């Protein structure tokens, strides 16, 4: 079979296979609580749904510009100026079907045998998969529980060498829920400023889901990185739009044409209907989103307090996203064993830490994108393991 060897480097996201397994068990009549999947359990706010219906009725159903409709890119450009005081032109912004293609495109641009790409471990599994597919050496930056899963700047610096082409940062982090605040990001940027040949992919897809009245310090606040900074963001998590497949990204001027060519080659353009819905999300009222984030914070507090009451489980306090990443080693099981037992014997779907990298053997990811009632029931069940 003359299939490209590179394809065998591809890895996957086990959250999807766990979802399939959980659905299969539910279909057999088992009482399953799904804390595995990384998507908000709320419906897309009504004003956004209506904007999509209006777009269909107004006949906005054709191809759009491959980089997305101008109104949407303008709206994002204005938002970035207001939020981060960074003047990014609509030409430097790309709209894609979800945020994921930005990881793929970045890996294609900075991959190849001669390059090394640094990525967070534990981290979103698609980073390593795409880096390996690109042919580059995948260099894990281990995030440690004793550092609250934040980036250890000295450790990061020790991994950078003349082959390093790209560093991937994810704040707030999936799967740990860690959130690096302004002072830590200042230190990180101080380091990044020293390595002028290295590009940065800052995955900020959870930027609006941060707790305790903090504001997310985007790397866009540091105007001096613009010429080598790629920002990944989108609608999936903030606006409960995972299935609408809509993401936005910012690219250095010198890379935007290549990124746009990748869009034309790959998907032509993002869904026109989703783009008009996305425009309403950016320009319309935000009360619904605020309510959703408050609800996530309530759940975060509940999960943090109650997991730590279980004598053999220890959980760090997540500062953002909707995940907790408890250490379960004292149960006598590793993360994979614990997740299997949780699903098959106790009806709770979780994702083992090793799905996010080799370092997280003793952890599982708990998504609190489920009702408080279900979360309470699930934690009770986990306390019996
Ligand atoms: N980046 C991170 C850290 C994620 O967790 C996800 C989705 O789970 C994505 C990117 C991709 O988001 P999208 O659904 O918009 O493609």
Secondary structure tally for the chain: helices H, strands E: 12, 12
pLDDT value for 3: 92
Strands (E), 259-332: 323-324
Taking the centre of ligand 1 as the mean of its atom positions, its distance from the CA of residue 99, in whole angstroms, is: 6
Cα→Cα distances 349→21, 23, 25, 383, Å: 9, 10, 10, 14
Span 286-291, average pLDDT: 97
Q: Is 203 in the pocket of ligand 1 (CB under 6 A)?
A: yes
Q: Is 172 in the pocket of ligand 1 (CB under 6 A)?
A: no
Pairing of strands 137-142, 247-250: unpaired
Taking the centre of ligand 1 as the mean of its atom positions, its distance from the CA of residue 205, in whole angstroms, is: 6
For residue 242, the ligand 1 atom closest to its alpha carbon is 14
Q: Is 100 in the pocket of ligand 1 (CB under 6 A)?
A: yes
Residue among 98, 104, 205, 277 to mutate when testing ligand 1 (max atoms within 8 A of CB) = 205
Span 122-130, average pLDDT: 98
Taking the centre of ligand 1 as the mean of its atom positions, its distance from the CA of residue 232, in whole angstroms, is: 9
Contact residues for 72 (Cβ-Cβ < 8 A; gap 6+): 95, 248, 275, 278, 279, 282
Taking the centre of ligand 1 as the mean of its atom positions, its distance from the CA of residue 194, in whole angstroms, is: 29
pLDDT value for 224: 87
Average pLDDT, rounded, for the chain: 96
Q: Token digits for 15?
A: 């959250």
Strands (E), the chain: 33-34, 93-96, 116-121, 137-142, 164-170, 199-203, 229-234, 247-250, 323-324, 348-349, 351-352, 364-367
pLDDT value for 15: 82
The number of residues making up the chain comes to 385
Quick one: 119 exposed, middle or buried, by C-beta within 10 A (0-12, 13-18, 19+)?
buried
Q: Is 327 in the pocket of ligand 1 (CB under 6 A)?
A: no
| The model scores a pTM over 0.85 | yes
Q: What is the pLDDT of residues 186-232, one digit of tens each?
A: 999 999 999 999 999 999 999 999 999 999 999 999 978 989 999 99
pLDDT value for 205: 98
Taking the centre of ligand 1 as the mean of its atom positions, its distance from the CA of residue 270, in whole angstroms, is: 16
Q: What is the pLDDT of residues 27-50, one digit of tens each?
A: 999 999 999 988 999 999 999 999
Q: Is 356 in the pocket of ligand 1 (CB under 6 A)?
A: no
Taking the centre of ligand 1 as the mean of its atom positions, its distance from the CA of residue 85, in whole angstroms, is: 25
Cα→Cα distances 180→113, 219, 330, Å: 32, 11, 27
Rounded to the nearest 10°, the torsion over CA 125, 127, 131, 134 is: 100
């Amino acid at each position: 079979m003359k299939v490209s060897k590179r394809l065998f480097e591809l890895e996957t996201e086990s959250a999807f296979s766990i979802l399939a397994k959980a659905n299969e068990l539910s279909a057999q009549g088992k009482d399953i609580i799904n804390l595995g999947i990384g998507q908000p359990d709320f419906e897309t706010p009504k004003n956004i749904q209506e904007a999509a219906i209006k777009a269909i009725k107004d006949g906005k159903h054709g191809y759009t510009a491959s980089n997305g409709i101008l109104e949407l890119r303008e709206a994002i450009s204005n938002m970035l100026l207001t939020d981060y005081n960074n003047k990014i032109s609509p030409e430097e912004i790309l709209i894609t079907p979800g945020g994921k293609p930005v990881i793929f495109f970045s890996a294609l641009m900075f991959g190849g045998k001669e390059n090394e790409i640094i990525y967070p471990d534990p981290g979103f599994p698609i980073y390593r998969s795409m880096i390996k597919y690109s042919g580059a050496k995948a260099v894990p930056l281990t995030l440690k529980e004793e550092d609250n899963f934040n980036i250890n700047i000295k450790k990061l610096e020790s991994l950078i060498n003349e082959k390093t082409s790209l560093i991937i940062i994810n704040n707030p982090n999936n799967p740990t829920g860690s959130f690096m605040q302004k002072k830590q990001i200042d230190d990180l940027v101080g380091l990044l400023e020293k390595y002028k040949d290295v590009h940065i992919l800052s995955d900020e897809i959870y930027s609006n889901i941060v707790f305790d009245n903090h504001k997310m310090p985007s790397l866009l606040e540091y105007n001096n990185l613009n010429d080598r900074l790629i920002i990944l963001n989108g609608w999936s998590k903030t606006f409960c739009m995972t299935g609408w497949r809509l993401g936005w990204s910012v690219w250095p001027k010198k890379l935007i044409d290549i990124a746009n060519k990748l869009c034309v080659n790959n998907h032509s353009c993002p869904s026109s209907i989703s783009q008009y819905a996305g425009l309403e999300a950016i320009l319309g009222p935000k009360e619904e989103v605020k309510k959703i984030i408050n609800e996530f914070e309530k759940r975060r507090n509940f999960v943090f307090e109650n997991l730590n009451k279980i004598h053999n489980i220890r959980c760090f306090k997540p500062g953002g996203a909707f995940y907790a990443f408890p250490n379960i080693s004292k149960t006598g099981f590793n993360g994979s064993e614990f997740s299997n037992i949780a699903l098959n014997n106790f009806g709770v779907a979780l994702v083992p830490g090793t799905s996010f990298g080799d370092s997280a053997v003793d952890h599982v990811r708990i998504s609190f994108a489920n009702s408080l009632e279900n979360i309470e029931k699930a934690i009770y069940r986990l306390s019996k393991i």
